């Protein structure tokens, strides 16, 4: 049994990770300030003898110094999340993403904990390649566009984590997430699938930003969590960066059509320009597709759940939640 600290463990991915670690027989301490997560996400593990919840902020260095001793593995999942939140509050994004990571890495050097750093496909910025590999250049927009604050701050996180691996031989693994989706994800922060499903269940319209030709890949959280845990079991993964997600592309317009077909074919779509949805200076990435060959070679698998099955799972969860 390993004792694990999961920062942001009451969030969408963090809560699924917490459940899975407990299922595997590990002990889990969750740290979350509940600003974007919720205790309801941990309802299935409340009362578990190996589960402990600590409400607090990852920006509190004293609290972090109290929680890390005795831990074997740190899963640093906490971060500012969502395109809308990032665009609206870049100061919070930068402060939340960078400083706590450095504090946790310093503590991990002292305690020799293995360290998973949750990163994001946003670090690739506007790289024009069809598929992104972990060694590709990062191409951000200008600093006058707040949208790029998230990707830049997480890139700094990655530089920090990899520097601590090189300097102190710390067991750091970096995972870049590509549109992780599933039950418990909410649409409040710009997450597209829960927003589309809610809009369809409400009778529409399903609101598509810009022309809907943006391309994304969607991976089920269950497979993403399993990928994280397997990476942390392999010494060969230490000091490396991994794309974690599906590599099956779909346009946002196609996604809207699939949601509508499954919920109610009578629901309509509505197209809204970015300057109305976000701000006049908002920039988006037209295509975001990962090359996941490094992940597949390392752990022997990659997320493969079809989009239709993912949508059915999310729609069923949303309907059940509404019926309570």
Among 75, 99, 124, 150, the active-site one is 150
Q: Minimal CA–CA distance to 146: which of 212, 211, 94? A: 94
Asked, for residue 242, whether it belongs to a domain, the answer is yes
Asked, for residue 111, whether it belongs to a domain, the answer is yes
pLDDT recorded at residue 84:
66
**Mean pLDDT value across residues 61-80:** 95
Give Rg (Cα) of the chain: 19
**Mean pLDDT value across residues 239-263:** 98
What is the per-residue pLDDT across 150-174, written as a single tens digit (0 to 9) for each? Answer: 899 999 999 999 999 999 999 999 9
Q: Is it the case that residue 316 has pLDDT exceeding 90?
A: yes
Asked, for residue 38, whether it belongs to a domain, the answer is yes
In three-state secondary structure terms, 280 is coil
pLDDT recorded at residue 324:
78
Asked, for residue 75, whether it belongs to a domain, the answer is yes
Query: Rounded CA gap, 67 and 300, in Å?
Result: 33
pLDDT recorded at residue 36:
85
For 104, the domain range is 3-181+219-246+291-305
Q: Is 150 a catalytic residue?
A: yes
What is the per-residue pLDDT across 78-130, written as a single tens digit (0 to 9) for each? Answer: 987 766 667 677 788 888 889 999 999 999 999 999 999 999 999 999 999 99
Backbone angles phi, psi at 290, to 5 degrees: -90, 150
Please report, for the domain that includes residue 131, its CATH number.
3.40.50.720
Asked, for residue 35, whether it belongs to a domain, the answer is yes
Asked, for residue 150, whether it belongs to a domain, the answer is yes
User: What percent of the chain stands above pLDDT 70?
Assistant: 97
What is the per-residue pLDDT across 4-52, written as a single tens digit (0 to 9) for each? Answer: 999 999 999 999 999 999 999 999 999 999 988 899 999 999 999 999 9
The pTM is what?
0.95
How many domains are there within the chain?
1
């Amino acid at each position: 049994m390993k004792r694990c600290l999961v920062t942001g463990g009451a969030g969408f991915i963090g809560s699924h990770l917490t459940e899975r670690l407990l299922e595997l027989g590990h002990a889990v301490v969750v740290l979350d300030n509940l600003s974007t997560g919720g205790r309801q996400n941990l309802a299935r593990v409340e009362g578990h003898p190996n589960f402990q919840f600590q409400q607090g902020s990852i920006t509190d260095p004293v609290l972090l110094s109290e929680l890390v001793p005795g831990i074997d593995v740190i899963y640093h999942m906490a971060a500012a999340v969502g395109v809308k939140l990032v665009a609206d509050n870049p100061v919070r994004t930068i402060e939340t993403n960078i400083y706590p990571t450095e504090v946790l890495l310093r503590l991990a050097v002292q305690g020799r904990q293995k360290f998973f750093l949750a990163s994001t496909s946003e670090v690739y910025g506007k790289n024009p390649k069809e598929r992104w590999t972990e060694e590709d250049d990062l191409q951000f927009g200008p600093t006058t566009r707040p949208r790029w604050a998230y990707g830049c701050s997480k890139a700094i996180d990655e530089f920090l984590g990899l520097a601590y691996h090189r300097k102190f031989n710390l067991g750091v693994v970096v995972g870049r997430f590509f549109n992780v989706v599933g039950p418990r994800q909410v649409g409040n922060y710009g997450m597209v699938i829960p927003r589309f499903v809610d809009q369809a269940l409400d009778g529409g319209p399903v609101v598509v930003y810009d022309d809907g030709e943006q391309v994304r890949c969607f991976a089920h959280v269950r497979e993403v969590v399993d990928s994280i845990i397997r990476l942390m079991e392999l010494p060969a993964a230490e000091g490396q960066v991994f794309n974690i997600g599906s590599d099956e592309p779909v346009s946002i317009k196609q996604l809207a059509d699939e949601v509508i077909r499954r919920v109610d074919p009578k629901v309509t779509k509505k197209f809204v320009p970015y300057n109305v949805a976000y701000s006049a200076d908002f920039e988006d990435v037209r295509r975001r597709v990962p090359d996941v060959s490094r992940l597949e070679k390392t752990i022997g698998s990659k997320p493969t759940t079809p989009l239709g099955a993912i949508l059915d799972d999310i729609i069923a969860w949303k309907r059940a939640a509404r019926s309570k």
